[in-house]
Copies of this chain bind each other. A is one copy, B any other.
Amino acid sequence: MTDMIQPVILCGGAGTRLWPESRGHRAKQFLPLTGAQSLFQQTIVRTSAGAGFGSPIILCGDPHVAAVRDQLGACRATLLVEPMPRNTAAAIALAVARVAADTLLLVMPSDHVIADVPAFHAAIARGARLAQQDWIVTFGITPTGPETGFGYIANGAALGDDGFVVDRFIEKPPLVDAEAMLAAGGYSWNAGIFLFRAGRMRDAMLTQCRAIFEAADRSIAAGMIDGDALYADAVHFAQAPSDSIDYAVMERDERVAVVPASMGWSDLGSWQAVHMLAPKDAASNAVTGDAFLHDSQSNLVRAGGKRVSLVGMDSIAVIVDGDDILVMPLVRSQDVRAAAKAREAPN
């Protein structure tokens, strides 16, 4: 069944939460954060022809085309190049406008980790059955804690064994609500992974966000082809309102399903998350590069070609990238933006 599914990989993100390694042309998805392969490469591999998928469509901006081509290596793919960032609805509209109406599109971020690939494939098989019945499918991650950094999806009526009607989408909740949802069950995290028939999404967009789809459709028609890449036309694409696919379609459409999945998912949204997923030594230190640790526990050190020495430090991140050195407690990982903003500000 999966041989009918064409992966659509969203590569537009900047990933400033993993500054200083993630910045500018070298966004988070292109970094080898959990092993030898980048998150982008892992995304390609888990939806490759070998796993029964069609050739992927890569959505990215011009600054990332070189990194995408470099990391694809010998993999075949189609690049759809966004002339400027217009959020996920317009990006997905480009892919929808480019393919035949009966194509099943599996839309995925390029910067997530999925540790349990068989579980991922099983969830896609369930989602594909629903998508062929013209459900727009979103995959919900079974919560492992009361996270306040994700949106949640509430299950409605069951759709056989394959999933549930989406009752409603819930914005990033306060902790008390997150705890209540975790206790109640029937809620999952919105991971931004979608599966649908292209024609079904086109119809939904023409109803819910016509201006976005039409701008994308025209920018594809007027686009410029350069080998494996189609550069969407900038004048038309600039007309697309900037909106997320969640707001523009998912929360408005009447026939949206959720397929819950427990598949070792992480958005790797902070250095703390990187530490959690990384291989660690007996003292819970996760180290890449040349690091000397004395009487130090539970640290994340990415030495970036330099020589990092820690004495008596616990639970901090030391991230070295070029001439930048970031030091912070892992629990403060969300606050890295303060440093990224100050350091990356145009002079």
Q: Which residues of A contact B (CB under 8 A)?
A: 20, 292, 294-295, 303, 305-313, 316, 318, 320, 323-329, 332, 335-336, 338-339, 342-343
With A313-B316, A316-B313 in contact, do A308 and B295 touch (Cβ < 8 Å)?
no
Q: How far is the CA of A282 from the CA of B288 in the complex (A)?
A: 35
Nearest-CB distance from A346 to chain B (Å)?
Answer: 16
Q: Is the CB of B342 within 8 A of A328?
A: no
Known: A294-B339, A309-B343, A311-B329. 15 other contacts (CB 8 A): A292-B339, A292-B342, A292-B343, A294-B338, A295-B338, A306-B323, A307-B343, A308-B327, A311-B326, A311-B327, A311-B336, A312-B332, A313-B327, A316-B327, A325-B325
Nearest-CB distance from A342 to chain B (Å)?
Answer: 5
Nearest-CB distance from A19 to chain B (Å)?
Answer: 9
A to B CB contacts below 8 Å, 26 in the list: A292-B339, A292-B342, A292-B343, A294-B339, A303-B325, A307-B325, A307-B343, A308-B327, A309-B325, A309-B339, A310-B327, A310-B328, A310-B339, A311-B327, A311-B328, A311-B329, A311-B336, A311-B338, A312-B332, A313-B316, A313-B327, A313-B328, A313-B329, A318-B325, A318-B327, A320-B325
| Residues of chain B contacted by A305 (CB below 8 angstroms) | 323
| Residues of chain B contacted by A306 (CB below 8 angstroms) | 323-325
Instruction: Return the chain B residue nearest A333 by Cβ.
Output: B311
Q: How far is the CA of A328 from the CA of B20 in the complex (A)?
A: 21
Q: How far is the CA of A55 from the CA of B4 in the complex (A)?
A: 90
| Residues of chain B contacted by A307 (CB below 8 angstroms) | 323-325, 343
Instruction: Return the chain B residue nearest A342 by Cβ.
Output: B292
Nearest-CB distance from A73 to chain B (Å)?
Answer: 31
Q: Is the CB of A312 within 8 A of B292?
A: no
Q: Is the CB of A342 within 8 A of B309?
A: yes
Q: Is the CB of B312 within 8 A of A329?
A: yes
Instruction: Return the chain B residue nearest A334 by Cβ.
Output: B311
| Residues of chain B contacted by A320 (CB below 8 angstroms) | 325
Q: Is the CB of B325 within 8 A of A311?
A: no
Nearest-CB distance from A322 to chain B (Å)?
Answer: 9
| Residues of chain B contacted by A309 (CB below 8 angstroms) | 20, 324-327, 339, 342-343
Give the contacting residue for A294; candidates B316, B324, B342; CB below 8 A: B342
| Residues of chain B contacted by A308 (CB below 8 angstroms) | 325, 327
Q: How far is the CA of A58 from the CA of B209 in the complex (A)?
A: 81
| Residues of chain B contacted by A20 (CB below 8 angstroms) | 309
Q: Is the CB of B325 within 8 A of A312?
A: no
| Residues of chain B contacted by A343 (CB below 8 angstroms) | 292, 307, 309
Give the contacting residue for A312; candidates B318, B323, B324, B335; CB below 8 A: B335
| Residues of chain B contacted by A335 (CB below 8 angstroms) | 294-295, 311-312
| Residues of chain B contacted by A312 (CB below 8 angstroms) | 328-329, 332, 335
Q: How far is the CA of A157 from the CA of B13 in the complex (A)?
A: 78
| Residues of chain B contacted by A332 (CB below 8 angstroms) | 295, 311-312
| Residues of chain B contacted by A294 (CB below 8 angstroms) | 335, 338-339, 342
Instruction: Return the chain B residue nearest A295 by Cβ.
Output: B335
Instruction: Return the chain B residue nearest A306 by Cβ.
Output: B323
Nearest-CB distance from A295 to chain B (Å)?
Answer: 7
Q: How far is the CA of A323 from the CA of B336 in the complex (A)?
A: 23
